[in-house]
Amino acid sequence: MLANLSSIKEEIINFNIDNKDSLEQFRIKFLSKKGIIPQLFESFKNVEPAQKKEYGVLINELKVAANEKLETFSNQFDTTEQSIGQSDLSLPANSMPLGSRHPISIIKNEICAIFSKLGYVISEGPEIEDDWHVFGALNFAPDHPARDMQDTFFVNKKEELLLRTHTSSVQIRIMEKTQPPIRILMPGRVFRNEAISARAHCVFHQIEGLYIDENVSFADLKQNLLFFARELFGSQTKIRLRPSYFPFTEPSAEMDVSCSICGGKGCNICKYSGWLEVLGCGMVHPNVLENCKIDSKKYTGFAFGMGIERIVMLKYQIKDLRLYFESDLRFLKQFTSAY
């Protein structure tokens, strides 16, 4: 009798199931009410007492093996039929929807591409800086308002470390390690302790440029900026430079571009002046060069800097810069770019 159980087990294992009909045949033969395994349980009462224990173990193993095989093939056929019924396997896969770049990234990349044509190299630096690289080396006076806590985020109580207020700190780091000629562009995120509104934010992005070499003049600065303005805003764009003051440049200037919306005639975007302020610039102060161990009698240079959010607002006529930080897909999906 025990030998007969072994042959039944071999039959269960070797039973060929290749479709639902053969699966049903397997169920009827081994697990139906009149199937082999229920009949074995029925005959258990006729087994000799000495063999009951071993016999019970074996028929339970047969039942488990038959049920497992039945369940495995049932799931296999159900899954296959479901997948075939729901989709056409000959069709190409669905393409993933493409996202769009953030407007700040679009303009940043576009500005970098413009200045790369003039030989500028991208440089970056840390966002947590020390007082020397943010203020001291850039010719800020010890009592300058920018050093006050109401304008700057300090990291420690001793006011030795702070979140950089401009990317000019990267200029210092490059000049400390590199001798002229230097021609770099420095994009990055900066932080200032300002109330958040439609026109201001405590976190924003800047991009600055620096060129130092022998015989660099203000005329070189003007030509670089004119090329930039016409590449970004259009070939008919005009620029004007107004005298200004920055501790790290002398002379210093603010640059305006002719309004690309009204063509310089006057509109609400340019406040009917025909001009839009876009950046600050000037010749690098000799004290800054000397602080970085660069001979100010041999070398001269110029620097310029602009807020990327400001350029984006002018380029796309965005009136509230808080939109940049809200992750609103309705706003972000409007922007596409090759950059």
Angstrom distance (rounded) from CA 306 to CA 200: 14
Instruction: Please check whether residues 195 and 281 belong to one and the same domain.
Output: yes
Angstrom distance (rounded) from CA 111 to CA 94: 35
| Confidence (pLDDT) at 109 | 93
pLDDT at 152 over 90: no
- Establish if 97 belongs to a structural domain: no
Q: Determine the Cα angle at 332 with ends 330 and 337, to 5°.
A: 135
Q: What is the mean pLDDT of residues 189-211?
A: 88
Higher pLDDT, 227 or 143: 227
Angstrom distance (rounded) from CA 252 to CA 208: 15
Q: Which residues make Cβ contacts (< 8 Å) with residue 187, sequence separation at least 6?
A: 108, 111, 112, 122, 124, 167, 205, 206, 207, 308
Higher pLDDT, 144 or 305: 305
Higher pLDDT, 206 or 62: 206
- Establish if 98 belongs to a structural domain: no
CATH at residue 229: 3.30.930.10
Last residue of a domain, one of 86, 120, 135: 86
| Confidence (pLDDT) at 322 | 86
| Confidence (pLDDT) at 269 | 67
Instruction: Please check whether residues 78 and 107 belong to one and the same domain.
Output: no
- Establish if 194 belongs to a structural domain: yes
- Establish if 93 belongs to a structural domain: no
Q: What is the mean pLDDT of residues 23-34?
A: 84
Angstrom distance (rounded) from CA 321 to CA 13: 71
pLDDT at 185 over 90: yes
Angstrom distance (rounded) from CA 207 to CA 197: 22
The per-residue DSSP string of 167-222 comes to: THHHHHHHHHH-PSPEEEEEEEEEE------SS--SEEEEEEEEEEETT--HHHHH
Instruction: Please check whether residues 46 and 163 belong to one and the same domain.
Output: no
Instruction: Please check whether residues 43 and 112 belong to one and the same domain.
Output: no
Last residue of a domain, one of 86, 119, 134: 86
What's the pLDDT tens digit per position in 71-116? Answer: 888 877 666 555 555 556 677 777 777 777 888 999 999 999 999 9
Instruction: Please check whether residues 113 and 216 belong to one and the same domain.
Output: yes
Instruction: Please check whether residues 25 and 76 belong to one and the same domain.
Output: yes
Instruction: Calculate the average pLDDT of the chain.
Output: 85
Instruction: Please check whether residues 111 and 168 belong to one and the same domain.
Output: yes
| Confidence (pLDDT) at 95 | 73
How do strand 121-122 and strand 182-191 relate by DSSP bridges?
A: parallel
How many structural domains is the chain composed of? 2
Last residue of a domain, one of 86, 115, 150: 86
Helix (H) or strand (E) holding 116: helix 103-116
Instruction: Please check whether residues 271 and 156 belong to one and the same domain.
Output: yes
Local structure of 11: helix, strand or coil: helix
Angstrom distance (rounded) from CA 334 to CA 144: 42
Instruction: Please check whether residues 209 and 304 belong to one and the same domain.
Output: yes
- Establish if 338 belongs to a structural domain: no
Instruction: Please check whether residues 38 and 126 belong to one and the same domain.
Output: no
| Confidence (pLDDT) at 7 | 81
What's the pLDDT tens digit per position in 164-183? Answer: 999 999 999 999 999 999 99
Q: Which residues make Cβ contacts (< 8 Å) with residue 61, sequence separation at least 6?
A: 9
Angstrom distance (rounded) from CA 295 to CA 50: 107
pTM of the model: 0.67
Domain that residue 272 falls in: 103-332
Q: What is the mean pLDDT of residues 209-219?
A: 95
Between 105-109, 142-146, 219-223, the lowest mean confidence (pLDDT) is in 142-146
Angstrom distance (rounded) from CA 163 to CA 133: 11
Tell me the chain's radius of gyration from C-alpha atoms: 38
Cα dist. 54→1, 5, 48, 50, 66 in Å? 11, 11, 11, 8, 19
What's the pLDDT tens digit per position in 29-59? Answer: 888 888 888 888 887 777 777 777 787 778 7
Between 89-93, 115-119, 252-256, 273-277, the lowest mean confidence (pLDDT) is in 89-93
- Establish if 339 belongs to a structural domain: no
Which band of pLDDT confidence, cut at 50, 70 and 90, is reported for residue 303? very high
Angstrom distance (rounded) from CA 189 to CA 303: 18
- Establish if 288 belongs to a structural domain: yes
Cα dist. 24→41, 60, 85, 125, 152 in Å? 21, 21, 22, 71, 78
Instruction: Please check whether residues 74 and 115 belong to one and the same domain.
Output: no
Instruction: Please check whether residues 125 and 261 belong to one and the same domain.
Output: yes
